[in-house]
């Protein structure tokens, strides 16, 4: 899959680390767990370079007739975005409980209404992180990072360290461009306001 200028294709992660997706049976937006190597069935095409606010063109992998409402993608803090519906004055939201669903009735762009945009390379990088044995990641003292798990607020946990994905888009993209056997030094941020840390990552050969 390629991305051509002057547009950018983006996929979106919700507050809980699930992906904004499309249910082809109901022809509605939905949310699904992140799966390494899988592209969600819903993406947005936006002009490059990305600026806000903008009007995303929402695209379904399985073409279905139901149109999306007019949406305005708005910038939030820490590289996150919200989808505003001008007609209703509400926001797209991804609700985890009691039965997970996605709708357009959010009143304020808070947690459920915020999304992390991910490029193709960022998705590839995240897939490598979440695939056992795909990467070897060392900290500055040579210690290996443990296998990560998802937490709330678009965050991974490596042992006792949390890794906010929204603070590290460049590192994810850099990982996504590694070929098998290649290594890279990654500048990562563990928390807001912290000094960057340098990790060494190597993509393992298959």
Provide the pLDDT for residue 1: 44
Is 143 within a domain?
Answer: yes
Q: Give yes or no: residues 80 and 110 share one domain.
A: yes
At 187, which helix (H) or strand (E)?
Answer: strand 183-188
Q: Give yes or no: residues 16 and 105 share one domain.
A: yes
Tell me the C-alpha distance between 151 and 163, whole Å. Answer: 9
**Which residues form the domain of 150?**
120-203
- Angle at Cα 8 formed by Cα 37 and Cα 18, nearest 5°? 40
Q: Give yes or no: residues 179 and 81 share one domain.
A: no
Provide the pLDDT for residue 99: 85
Burial class (CB in 10 A: 0-12, 13-18, 19+), 125: buried
Provide the pLDDT for residue 119: 98
Is 86 within a domain?
Answer: yes
Q: Give yes or no: residues 55 and 106 share one domain.
A: yes
Q: What global pTM score does this model have?
A: 0.93
CATH number of the domain encompassing residue 33: 2.80.10.50
Is 1 within a domain?
Answer: no
Q: Give yes or no: residues 92 and 133 share one domain.
A: no
Number of H helices and E strands in the chain, helices first, is: 2, 16
Q: Give yes or no: residues 19 and 96 share one domain.
A: yes
Q: Which of 59, 91, 118 is the last residue of a domain?
A: 118
Provide the pLDDT for residue 5: 58
Is 71 within a domain?
Answer: yes
At 127, which helix (H) or strand (E)?
Answer: helix 120-130
* Nearest Cα residue to 72 out of 46, 96, 49: 46
- Give me the number of domains the chain comprises: 2
* Nearest Cα residue to 44 out of 21, 24, 27: 21
Q: Which stretches in the chain have pLDDT values below 50?
A: 1, 3
Tell me the C-alpha distance between 64 and 68, whole Å. Answer: 11
Is 187 within a domain?
Answer: yes
Q: Which of 87, 102, 118 is the last residue of a domain?
A: 118
Tell me the C-alpha distance between 175 and 30, whole Å. Answer: 28
Dihedral sign for Cα 11, 14, 19, 21, please.
negative
At 186, phi and psi to the nearest 5? -110, 130
Tell me the C-alpha distance between 46 and 28, whole Å. Answer: 21
Q: Give yes or no: residues 28 and 90 share one domain.
A: yes
Q: Give yes or no: residues 181 and 134 share one domain.
A: yes
Q: Give yes or no: residues 61 and 17 share one domain.
A: yes
Q: Give yes or no: residues 101 and 51 share one domain.
A: yes
Using alpha carbons, list the distances in angstroms from residue 132 to 3, 75, 135, 173: 27, 33, 8, 19
Q: Which of 70, 99, 118 is the last residue of a domain?
A: 118
Residue with tokens 């609700």: 95
Q: Give yes or no: residues 72 and 145 share one domain.
A: no
Is 68 within a domain?
Answer: yes
Using alpha carbons, list the distances in angstroms from residue 108 to 15, 73, 88, 104: 14, 14, 12, 11
Q: What does the radius of gyration of the chain's CA atoms come to, in whole angstroms?
A: 17
Tens digit of pLDDT for each residue in 17-34? 999 999 999 999 999 999
- Facing residues of 72 across strands? 84
Q: Give yes or no: residues 138 and 111 share one domain.
A: no
């Amino acid at each position: 899959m390629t991305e051509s200028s002057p547009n950018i294709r983006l996929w979106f992660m919700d507050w809980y680390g699930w992906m904004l997706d499309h249910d082809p049976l109901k022809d509605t937006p939905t949310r699904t767990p992140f799966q390494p190597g899988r592209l969600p069935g819903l993406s947005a095409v936006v002009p490059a370079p990305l600026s806000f606010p903008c009007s995303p063109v929402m695209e379904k992998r399985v073409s279905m007739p139901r149109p999306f409402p007019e949406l305005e993608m708005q910038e939030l803090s820490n590289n996150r975005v919200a989808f505003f519906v001008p007609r209703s004055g509400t926001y797209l939201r991804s609700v985890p409980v009691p039965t997970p669903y996605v709708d357009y009735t959010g009143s304020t762009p808070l947690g459920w209404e915020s999304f992390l945009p991910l490029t193709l390379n960022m998705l590839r990088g995240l897939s490598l992180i979440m695939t056992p044995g795909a990467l070897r990641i060392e900290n500055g003292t040579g210690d290996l990072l443990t296998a990560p798990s998802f937490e709330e607020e678009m965050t991974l946990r490596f042992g006792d360290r949390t890794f906010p994905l929204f603070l590290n888009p460049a590192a994810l993209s850099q990982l996504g461009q590694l070929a098998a056997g290649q290594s890279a030094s990654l500048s990562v941020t563990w928390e807001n306001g912290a000094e960057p840390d340098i990790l060494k990552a190597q993509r393992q050969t298959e």
